[in-house]
């Protein structure tokens, strides 16, 4: 099944026409988003932690320091909710009320486990590196055993998910269209600026392809 079942957990109730449940819609949002926010509750207190992720099939990999509360919590198998948000533009309407945003967002539900097997851990770290900058894993020095030991990796199985999207211009009230107020869309995107070479770069090194050609998604 390429579509996640609609349940009380993932069914988009507010503006349901903007919702989607198929992997073809949800997974490109996860892959384009540079970061995610992981939500979890500890003794009734909710936390939302931003972090880097990478996807392989129905699994999201996260990594960090072994001391991370987030990762320890995930390794204990508690339920998680992970959100990725792509902000595509500001929708500027004639009325304050109809201002909005264009976006593609994905919400994923699942539980995680510690990645203990070395091969899977290295693959996950390669995916995470490639998620940050395509081609960087092969350009950079690979992690040594000390660095691998100092990095915790968890795998979150995607059990349920939804996407929600808005596109297009403002939808003002009919009587407002003749008002002399500018309306439209201000597109927004995550774009790289000029790379800044590290001051400790001791000899001439060309800008690597992963940075020279940096782009995310579409």
Ligand X SMILES: Cc1cc2nc3c(=O)[nH]c(=O)nc-3n(C[C@H](O)[C@H](O)[C@H](O)COP(=O)(O)OP(=O)(O)OC[C@H]3O[C@@H](n4cnc5c(N)ncnc54)[C@H](O)[C@@H]3O)c2cc1C
Which of 17/205 has CB closer to ligand X?
Answer: 17
Please state the closest distance from residue 19 (CB atom) to ligand X, in A.
6
117 φ, ψ (degrees, to nearest 5): -75, 130
| Among 53, 54, 105, 170, contact with ligand X (rule: CB under 6 A) | 105
CA distance 44 to 71: 18
Please state the closest distance from residue 164 (CB atom) to ligand X, in A.
3
Which of 40/103 has CB closer to ligand X?
Answer: 103
Whose structure tokens read 């995680």?
112
Rg (CA), the chain: 21
User: Of the listed pieces 4-12, 54-62, 144-152, 195-203, which binds ligand X according to CB under 6 A?
Assistant: 4-12
Decide: is 158 part of the binding site for ligand X (CB under 6 A): no
Assigned token pair, 196:
């800044």
C-alpha dihedral over 74, 124, 60, 64, to 10 degrees?
Answer: 40
- Angstrom CA distances, 112 to 15, 77, 207, stand at 30, 5, 37
CA distance 170 to 39: 31
Please state the closest distance from residue 104 (CB atom) to ligand X, in A.
8
Binding mask 70-89 for ligand X (x = CB under 6 A): ---------------x-x--
**Residue with the closest Cβ to ligand X?**
164
Applying CB under 6 A, which residues contact ligand X?
Answer: 9-14, 85, 87, 101, 103, 105-107, 162-164
């Amino acid at each position: 099944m390429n579509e996640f079942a609609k349940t009380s957990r993932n069914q988009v109730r507010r503006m349901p026409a903007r919702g989607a449940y198929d992997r073809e819609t949800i997974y490109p949002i996860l892959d384009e988003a540079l970061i995610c926010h992981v939500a979890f509750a500890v003794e009734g207190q909710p936390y939302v932690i931003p972090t880097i992720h990478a996807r392989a099939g129905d699994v999201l990999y996260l990594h960090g320091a072994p001391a991370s509360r987030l990762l320890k919590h995930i390794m204990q198998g508690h339920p998680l909710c992970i959100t990725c948000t792509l902000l595509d533009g500001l929708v500027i309407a004639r009325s304050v009320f109809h201002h909005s945003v264009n976006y593609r967002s994905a919400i994923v539900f699942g539980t995680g486990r510690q990645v203990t097997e070395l091969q899977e851990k290295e693959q996950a770290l390669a995916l995470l590196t490639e998620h940050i900058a395509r081609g960087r894993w092969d350009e950079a020095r690979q992690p040594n055993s000390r660095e691998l030991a100092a990095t915790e990796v968890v795998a979150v199985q995607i059990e349920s998910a939804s996407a929600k999207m808005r596109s297009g211009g403002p939808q003002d009230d009919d009587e407002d269209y003749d008002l002399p107020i500018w309306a439209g869309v201000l597109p927004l995107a995550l774009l790289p600026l000029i790379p800044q070479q590290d001051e400790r770069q001791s000899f001439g090194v060309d800008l690597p392809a992963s940075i020279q050609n940096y782009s995310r998604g579409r």
